Chain A
Amino acid sequence: MSADILLETRLIDLIYVLALAAVLWAVASSGIPSMIRLFGFQSFLLACGTALIARVANEPHLLGAALFTIVFKVFLIPLVLTYVMNRLKIRKEIEDYINIPSSLILCSLLTIVAYAVTLRVIQTRAPFNVAGVFAVALAIMLIGFFIMVNRKKTLTQILGLMFVENGVFLAAVAMTYGMPLLVEFGIFFDVFVATLIMGIMLFKIWDTLSDMDYKENL
């Protein structure tokens, strides 16, 4: 731990590792509201981290990306998901194929894979810890996928997809300092619309299947 690392770099490292911890905590949760809250918290962390990277790497357009993250992922998308959850009165227990402790161990292994892959690919370190952030991004992606695969309720799977998207965004920020602002806005809007559409589809499926037992799987 050499003392000459810039404060911001350290802060960036810390923020992204906490984001990883957040997604792991989500794997450990069995309640949808807490998963949504963790998603919001993670997105907030990502936004702060992006802002810091904007400062460190001198890329002011990233501040815009950070702002979009807050608006969409910390507020709008969790709002939509909570609304869907309440309308469908989905029970807060979540079923899965692999139980929580085993899936936590599996996710640790996935994180290790992410670090292993990153080590082979990335060598640079300046101006901030690119390798570390990329590894975390990859890990969040993998864990998000895992959530989608492991859980049975559709709403949780949507959350998994959201985590994957967070991971992709983070990877983009780490490797290429994000993308042009307009593209970023477009992506965020797409993700938001996708969530809306998925929510609407859930309503429709719910209504159609309201007499059958399949709605338990929603």
Chain B
Amino acid sequence: MILLLAALQVLTLLLLGPLFSTFIRKVHARIQGRQGPPLPQGHYDILKLLRKDRIYSVRSSFVTRITPAVNFAVVCVAALMIPVLTTTVPFHFAGDFIFFIYLFGLARFLTALTGLDAGSTFGGMASSREMTLSSLAEPAILLGFIVVSTAAGSMDISVMTAQLIDLPGKYLNPFFILTLLSFSIVIMAENGRVPFDNPATHLELTMIHEGMVLELSGRDLGVFQLAHTMRLLVLTVVALDVFFPFGLATEFTAYALFVSFGALLLKLFIAGVVVAYVETANAKYRLFRLPDLLTLAFALSLIALIAYYATEVAGVR
């Protein structure tokens, strides 16, 4: 049963990943008055890349050759650790939220190394920026999760979600809101959306994420793109599950799954529109403004954590 759920989750996210990214691009385009790409474009692009030739730099080492596969593996395992359609998580015995967040660290570490692998300047620049921003973003998201998990009494993501489903007053909880704010900032940063990084830029000097994978081509790039789009989806889904968990199936019946899938699509639709709107409304910040924003997210998380412990936790209320 668990195995079936696991397979279902991974496949769902695998398919929805490129779709979600393309959807955001499409809404972005529509807001700007353009038509935008057709929805399956993301899938087409990946399939196209899988058929292309590829070139490696003579300087690159085994790191470049394994990074796309590792990214893919990490995202698939992460997909098993979060609730997608049901509140039960296939890998709930294997990982809690700390594991989840740190697991992405593995992907990030190797991707940043790929940037340095070819010995090009732009790759190094991108790696440096990526590691700097993540050194602020990762703690921010971790602290936010700590607040939520302390409130829910468990570090297991499925238990957190199940608890939060029955807690209507949570939306007015100030720490909840602060955490949500800081989460949103971090998710935008981690996935390289405007204002942190322009996913559509051609200028290497402005790249962060794209810069690290400049030297990837062909199948490597295809698999990497797939992993990257899945990653945006996984992080969005976990945020939606923690903050807006209604609609998740609590039992394993066909009807509940159907409703849950519909709810998921609806939530993703809204999230996609919001992300596209934020992207359109802002220009990409110059690099040294980004730490300001991320430090703000970190500060908000930190304050939420301390304020929560100071005023709410055991023995006071």
Contact = CB atoms under 8 A, between A and B. Distances in A.
When A and B assemble into the complex, do they touch directly, with CB atoms less than 8 Å apart?
A: yes
Given A115-B310, A129-B311, A131-B311, A24 B173 contact: no
B135 to A, nearest CB: 11
A55 interface: no
A135 B172 contact: no
Please classify how large the interface on chain A is, using the bins under 10, 10 to 19, 20 to 34, 35 or more. Answer: 35 or more
Nearest to B177: A14
Contact of A18 (B169, B174, B311, B312): B174
A3 B167 contact: yes
A119 B124 CA distance: 47
Interface in B285-309: 289, 291-296, 298-300, 302-303, 306-307
B183 interface: no
B306 A24 contact: no
B51 interface: no
A110 to B, nearest CB: 10
Interface residues of B, number: 32
B175 interface: yes
B311 A1 contact: no
Interface stretch (A56-64, A97-105, A145-153, A172-180): A97-105
Contact of B177 (A5, A18, A28, A125): A18
A16 B311 CA distance: 14
Contacts of B7: none
Contacts of A118: 310
A13 to B, nearest CB: 5
A25 interface: yes
B34 interface: no
A42 interface: no
Contacts of B52: none
Interface of B: 136, 151, 167-170, 172-175, 177-178, 181, 289, 291-296, 298-300, 302-303, 306-307, 310-312, 316-317
4 nearest CB pairs, A to B:
A17-B174, A10-B172, A101-B295, A104-B295
16 contacts: A3-B167, A3-B169, A7-B172, A11-B172, A14-B174, A20-B303, A24-B296, A24-B299, A30-B292, A101-B295, A105-B298, A107-B299, A111-B306, A115-B311, A125-B316, A125-B317
Given A7-B172, A14-B174, A108-B303, 20 more contacts: A1-B170, A3-B167, A7-B169, A11-B172, A16-B174, A17-B177, A20-B303, A24-B300, A25-B296, A28-B293, A30-B289, A30-B292, A101-B136, A101-B292, A104-B295, A105-B298, A105-B299, A108-B299, A112-B306, A125-B316
